[in-house]
Amino acid sequence: MPIYEFVCKVCGKRFSHLVLSADDQKDVKCPQCGSADVKRVFSPFGSLGSSTSSSSGGSCTSFG
Ligand SMILES: [Zn+2]
């Protein structure tokens, strides 16, 4: 299934959306703020199953 990844340009929310047709991705809205101002991003592995192992170094990611 063609699951594309989008990022909201308003709140920065990143989400994946199932796009069945070419016109479908035009109607993608942000699930967080409901804005239609989203941009499609290309992920190398898709949206599911990303395993990154970081042994050293501290990555501080603030969520929310
Ligand atoms: Zn948003």
Report pLDDT digits (tens) over 19-34. Answer: 888 787 778 999 999 9
List CB contacts of 7: < 8 A, sequence separation 6 or more: 13, 14, 15, 38, 39, 41
Q: From ligand 1's centre to the CA of 38, what distance in Å?
A: 8
Q: From ligand 1's centre to the CA of 16, what distance in Å?
A: 13
Tell me what pLDDT residue 50 has: 47
User: Ligand 1 is a single-atom ion; what residues have CB below 5 A from it?
Assistant: 8, 10-11, 13, 30, 32-33, 35
Q: From ligand 1's centre to the CA of 18, what distance in Å?
A: 17
Higher-confidence residue: 5 or 2? 5
